[in-house]
Amino acid sequence: MSYPQTYVPTPLELPFDDWLDPEIICWAVIPAVIAMGIVALRFYTRHYITGKIEIEDWFALGALIMSLAVSVGIVRQSYFALGKHLSTIGFETLSNFLRALWYTAFFYHLSLGLVKASILLLYIRMFKSYDTLRRAAWIMLAIILVGICGILAITMTACIPLRKKWDSNVEGYCHPNWPWWAATGFQAGSDVIIFLMPLSTIYKLRLPRRQKLGLCAVFALGLFVCLVAILRIVWVSRANDPDYTFNGKAVGEWSCIEINTAIVCASLMVLKPLYHKLRPCKTRLVSEDDVPGSYDPPPTVGAARIRPLLQNHGSGCVTPADAERRSANFHYNPDAHPDENASRRMHSLCGPTTRTMSPTLPAKPFFIESVREKTDKSVPIAQMGSPLSVRVW
C-alpha cells in the first residue's frame, strides 16, 4: 500500500476527471462486505452459542474496522488518480491522491497487525495442551507487536514534515526506499510463519474426515493470503516506475483482497459451533459388538481433554474363562461383613477400579452429545442420552 517517495515533473494542469474505475470499486467493496458478514457470524457464534466473547474476537473486529478504512482509502485514490496515467493528472489532484495513499498505507499495516494478533491469540487459546506451539505463538505475537509498531512509526514519519509526503513544494526529509521494502518483507514473512506454525500439530490430530476437509479449506485460504503477500512485493516494485498512479492499481486491489481474506480465515476457525447448530450430523455409530471402553474419541482443535471417569470392569469386561479362573482364587470370609465379601469378590474378578481417559460404554450403545458446563461454556463434555447411537461433536 505504500510506495517510496517518488516525484516526476509536474504534469500539465488538465480538467479534473472524477471517473471511478468500476474494477477498483468492486475489489475494494466486495471483499469488505464478505468479511463483515463472516465477522458478524463470528460474534453471533460467540455470544449466542458458546456464550463467551474472547479477546481475539475484538482484535478481529478492530482489523475489520481498519480494513473498511483501507477500502475507503482505495476508493478515494481511484477518485483522484489510481488507475489513471500520471500524465493526465494535475498537481492538486496528485497531491490529494498521495495523501489518500499515505493514510491507506497506515490503516493497511494496522489491520494486518490486528488480524495476525487475533490468529496468534486463537492459537494460544486453542492449543492449551501443546506447550511448544503456545510458546512459539507468544514469541511470534511479541515480534508482530514490535514489528507493527516500527512500521507505523515509519509511516507516521514518512517525511519530516509529513506534509512533504504529498506536497513536493515543501522543504524537508523523506525516508529512502529500504524501510518500505523492509515493511513489505516483514508482512509477507510473518504471514508465512503464522500459516506454517500449527500444521505439524494439526497433522498429528486424529480427526473425522469432515473436520479434516474443513481445516484444509481454512488453511487453503491462509496459503492464499501468503501467496498474495509474496506477489505483492512484485506488484509494489512495478508500481514504483514513473507512471505509478496507473501501475499501482493492482497493488490497491490485491491489498484489499489480502486483508479481508485474512480476516475471513481467522474467523472461520471459530465457526464450528455454528455449523453444528445449523447442521447436526453423526460422526460415529457404536454397535453392540464394540468392546466397552475401547472407543477413544479423537482429539479436536480446541477441545478439552475428557475427564477421567471411573470404569467398573465388572460390567461384562471379562470372559467366562477369566471369571472362572479368578473365582477359584477367591476365599470367602464368614466373619467379614457381606458387603466386604462382595467387594473382595468383584476385586478378584475384574481387578481394582481404575481411571481411564475414555468414557465407559455399556453393553448397549448410547448417545453422546456435546454440551457446555454452566461454569465454563467453552469446555465440551460427554453426557448420556438416548440409547440409540453415539455421536461426538
Q: What are the pLDDT digits (tens) for 95-154?
A: 999 999 999 999 999 999 999 999 999 999 888 888 889 999 999 999 999 999 999 999
Give the pLDDT confidence of 62-103 residue by residue, as tens digits. Answer: 999 999 999 999 999 999 988 888 888 888 889 999 999 999
Query: Is residue 378 scored above 80 in pLDDT?
Result: no
Give the pLDDT confidence of 238-286 residue by residue, as tens digits. Answer: 766 677 888 888 888 889 999 999 999 999 888 888 888 887 754 443 3
334 located within any domain: no
Average pLDDT value over all residues in the chain: 74
Q: What one-letter code names the amino acid at 82?
A: L
Cell numbers for 134, please give them. 503456545
Mean of pLDDT values over 365-372: 40
Range of the domain at 105: 22-278
Cell numbers for 75, please give them. 476508493
pLDDT recorded at residue 44:
94
Distance CA 31, CA 71 (A): 9
- Vertex 214 angle, CA 124 and 375, to 5°: 45
Distance CA 81, CA 88 (A): 9
φ, ψ (nearest 5 deg) of residue 356: -135, 155
Instruction: Specify the number of domains making up the chain.
Output: 1
pLDDT recorded at residue 213:
73
Q: What pTM does this model have?
A: 0.68
Q: Are 195 and 219 in contact (CB under 8 A)?
A: yes
28 located within any domain: yes
Give the pLDDT confidence of 148-195 residue by residue, as tens digits. Answer: 999 999 999 999 999 999 988 888 889 888 888 899 889 989 999 998
- Determine the angle formed by the axes of helices 91-126 and 131-156, rounding to 10 degrees: 160
What totals of helices (H) and strands (E) does the chain contain, helices first?
12, 6
353 located within any domain: no
390 located within any domain: no
306 located within any domain: no
Query: Any idea what the CATH number is for the domain that residue 228 is in?
Result: 1.20.1070
**Helix, coil or strand: residue 307:** coil
173 located within any domain: yes
